[in-house]
Chains A and B, each alone.
Chain A
Amino acid sequence: MSAITFQVNGRSHTLDLDPTTPLLYVLSDDLGLRGPKFGCGLGQCGACTAIVNGTALRSCITAVSAVAGKEITTLEGLGTPEKPHPIQKAFIEEQAAQCGFCLNGVILTAKALLDRKPHPTDAEIQGALSNVLCRCFTHTRMHRAIQRAAREVAR
């Protein structure tokens, strides 16, 4: 066990942890966050995505020791139902979900993309999402939502 400090959604946390623990379980269990989810635990689906210092990472295969001193953003760090982030707003407007379980990975991956590239081409959106799964196959709406968010953010 060792004390590890990191920021989550703007708040600093110092926790006494097994440093090999994947970040996902720290976020979802120790901190009780609902955004990051266990999908595969293998880095294959995206459900556990968190943004760490601006990069979308798979928290299920990222040891918590690797994020010491870093700034982490989860889905709840973007906005609230009352004040959604433009990307979240775009997903609401496009009604881009069915079960919604994959949304964490989809929205955070899109957020990291748009932060880096405010005007992505369709191919760039596809590329960013090439390892993200939605088994309800809400694909068309999600692509539309990301394009809409890009337009809104650009404005």
Chain B
Amino acid sequence: MTRESFAALDRRGFLKSAGALVVSFSISAPPMHAQFGNTPIPGSPQNDQVDSWIAVGADGMITAYSGKEELGQGIATAQQQLIAEELCVPFDRVKLLYCDTAMTPDQAYTSGSQSHPANFNHSNLALACATAREALLHKAAERLALPAEQLVIADGVIRARTDTSKRVSYAELVGGSRLHLALDPNAKRKPPREWTVLGKAVGRVDMAAMVTGEFEYVHNVRLPGMLHGRVVRPPSVGATVASVDESSVSTMPGVVKVVVRRNFVGVVAQKPWQAMQAAERLKVTWTPGPGLPKQSTFYDHLRSLPSRDALLVDSKDTSQVLAQSATVLRARYDHPYQMHGSVGSSCAVADVQGGKATLYSPTQGVWYQKTTGAMILGLKPQDVHVIFRRGAGCYGLNGADTVSYDALILSQAVEKPVKVQLSRKDEMAWENYGNAWTIDERAALDAAGNIVAWEHEAWTASLGNRPGPMTPGNVITGMLVGYSPAAFEPGPARDPRSYNNGSNGIPSYVAGRVAGVEGGTGTVKSEKVLVHTVQSPFWTGPLRSPARLQNTFAHESFMDELAARVKADPVEYRLRHLRNPRVVGVLKAAAKAANWETRPSPVGGRPKTGVVTGRGVACVAYEGDNGYTGIVVEVAVNQDDGRVAVKRMWVAIDAGPISNPDGLRNQAEGGALQGMSRALGEEVTWDDEKITSIDWRTYHSLPLGFELPRIECVLVDQPDERATGAGETSITVVAAALANAIFDAAGIRLRQVPFTVERVRQALQARV
């Protein structure tokens, strides 16, 4: 079956084409009331039914349906391994379909390092496969008139352990029929120690197609009669349409229509180049926006705004302990807005005709595109079919959702299929940036140099987000056509009710005592974490390791400052305040790989000119318990010109049982380098009315051609633990480890990301 026809086929069609009749299992499992992590959209396949996840074809092929999509992170290959493993079939007998609202379950978004924990633990896809395997075994036992204990399964065939002639295949048992079975919470999973397909470095299923140009990205989707659209975004933040002069483009070749809906303006043409030129040429008169706060004083500005406050932990004694301690350290850390900056600007293809819509979208949440797309179009959700097609790597909420709305609106206006790809500038000026942060850390030390109190107070700016089920106004296009982002309401903090470190606001070194339970990973009992959210002038949304990265930059830099203050070794000082074995494990593993020399930072006694080297460390329990990583970074700082070269990185990562070591390594390496690019150069910039970082000259990403650090990954396998997140772990610790290494090398402390050559040079000059 071709790629295209798979997409067009619904579940019923699949079963029909696979032949055979519908047979129900005689056994029945109790209905499952487990939590699936999200409330599925009505009409989506039921998450507690095996049929929603897998189908056995008459030819023995397993088709699996997942709500977690391949974005480039390798999860499709890992899921295929999981299915093959649990069902005891060869890897290539599994066909995985994901994120198509006509057939796959609603698993909310593919984001936040949630795919591995969601589908590889005792729920969802993994549990569906285990349930099916046990049911098939049971069915075979009946058919062969043998007890199940005497049967073995291999290659999709169940046979008697002793008599190979007694055998029956999955296809013979149920091929082409529905399984009619609820997920069984008691179904036994294959223990990681017995894995033969999972745990192996299986190559990416899409690799050959990608390197040969065969792979179909959303940018390559072509529908019959498809036209090309381009949007015309406001020239400044908050500008509104005063008038549009359609005659300015009406005689241009190929122009089909100018589309205006409130503040949304777009052009549809026969060909992409015609659409681009028309969008460029179209005369729109805009009423200017309210203007922007000054970038040079922006972090102070954030601290002055009305805020919505949240307390993550509060032992209520920190001010007292801080006031009484002889040694108190305070430091402030600033982190800018950063971009997803996908290599390919976002693209979508929509076909809206006769009250029905089909959308090919790179969105991370097809079901929410369905509901919000329906709102934008004035259709019912059941009339909107959303099919995921991969875009360029997104790292979170890039322009995928907004361009999907663009395509829907333009297609509806011309009643023809329309493809829209954003210009580089439209992508960069209007995406939902990773939030800006400004953070205060305060700690008190006792006479022995140990931390006795830790306060973390942070301000972050937020506006919009991923579109949820009913919030198209969370991204620019939704707002341009009249929807609003969730209203911002300032308000005081309430006492926390349970321990939740999903944002890594709570440092690893405190006890994390909430409601009488210590949920944290550290020892410090006097603790307070207070977060102020203020309104952002720019759109914001999750960017790989949102909040976790910025908070960890502050925590792990500050921990280094504390260690330096008491002249302790940075690894030893961390270990002194940690009590979680998995954080300790990755920290030690990274230090060991790096051959860490135990001594305080900075090195000291070095010349103040020329190149000096140093090493820095950082670690984190990602989201408190969803993946663990430790890193050691070695840098060379040129004290004459301020250039920082990263020489080596050692990354230790613990994501539970390793599903695919090469996939995990690829994620860890990519995260480490992306973290380095973000720490050294990336920053969204603006003037008094608009964003000015709008291309790759003004937004600074490290290109492929630079002197690469050598990266060594240590994969810490945990066969007895739950599967955790992986994709966002290594990136979380890089900025802090880099700052710490620069401090170790040159004795300068960088507290503002990015560590540009200019900032390093200034710090070197200010050094006494």
Interface residue ranges, A against B (CB under 8 Å): 18, 21-22, 25, 28-29, 32-35, 37-42, 44-45, 47, 74-76, 78-81, 84, 88, 91-92, 95, 97-104, 106-107, 125-143
Report the nearest A residue to B649, measured CB to CB.
A140
Instruction: Let me know if A99 and B71 touch, CB within 8 A.
Output: yes
Which of B204, B222, B670, B707 makes the CB contact (< 8 A) with A136? B670
8 pairs, A vs B, C-beta closer than 8 Å: A81-B212, A100-B215, A127-B705, A129-B705, A132-B703, A134-B704, A137-B669, A140-B673
Collect the chain B residues with CB atoms within 8 Å of residue A32's CB.
222
Which of B203, B212, B424 makes the CB contact (< 8 A) with A41? B424
Report the nearest B residue to A99, measured CB to CB.
B72
Instruction: Let me know if B204 and A95 touch, CB within 8 A.
Output: yes
C-alpha gap A31/B167 in the complex (Å): 52
**A98 → B minimal CB distance (Å):** 4
Which of B208, B214, B672 gathers the greatest number of chain A CB atoms within 10 Å?
Answer: B208
Instruction: Let me know if A80 and B212 touch, CB within 8 A.
Output: yes
- Asked whether any CB of chain A lies closer than 8 Å to the CB of B677, the reply is yes
Instruction: Let me know if A38 and B345 touch, CB within 8 A.
Output: yes
In B11-60, the 8 Å CB interface with A consists of none
C-alpha gap A133/B674 in the complex (Å): 12
Number of A-B contacts (CB under 8 A): 190
Instruction: Let me know if A34 and B213 touch, CB within 8 A.
Output: yes
Which of B345, B666, B711 makes the CB contact (< 8 A) with A98? B666
Residues of A contacting B: mostly: loop
Q: Are A81 and B72 CB-contacts (below 8 A) given A45-B696, A132-B704, A135-B341?
A: no
Instruction: Let me know if B213 and A143 touch, CB within 8 A.
Output: no
Which of A35, A42, A88 makes the CB contact (< 8 A) with B424? A42
Instruction: Let me know if A80 and B421 touch, CB within 8 A.
Output: no
Instruction: Let me know if B211 and A47 touch, CB within 8 A.
Output: no
Interface residue ranges, B against A (CB under 8 Å): 71-74, 203-204, 206-217, 219-220, 222, 228, 253, 271-274, 276, 341-345, 347, 390-393, 395, 421, 423-424, 662, 666-667, 669-674, 677, 695-697, 701-708, 711
Instruction: Let me know if B344 and A39 touch, CB within 8 A.
Output: yes
C-alpha gap A143/B343 in the complex (Å): 18
Other A-B contacts than A44-B424, A80-B212, A135-B341, 13 sampled, CB-CB below 8 A, are: A45-B696, A81-B209, A95-B204, A97-B72, A99-B71, A107-B211, A126-B706, A132-B704, A134-B343, A135-B395, A137-B669, A137-B674, A138-B666
C-alpha gap A30/B170 in the complex (Å): 46
Instruction: Let me know if A34 and B72 touch, CB within 8 A.
Output: no
Collect the chain B residues with CB atoms within 8 Å of residue A78's CB.
212
Which of B211, B215, B342 gathers the greatest number of chain A CB atoms within 10 Å?
Answer: B211
Which of A76, A84, A102, A129 makes the CB contact (< 8 A) with B343? A102
Collect the chain B residues with CB atoms within 8 Å of residue A41's CB.
276, 423-424
Instruction: Let me know if B271 and A130 touch, CB within 8 A.
Output: no
C-alpha gap A125/B708 in the complex (Å): 11
**A150 → B minimal CB distance (Å):** 16
Collect the chain B residues with CB atoms within 8 Å of residue A44's CB.
424, 695-697
Instruction: Let me know if B703 and A131 touch, CB within 8 A.
Output: yes
Collect the chain B residues with CB atoms within 8 Å of residue A84's CB.
208, 211-212
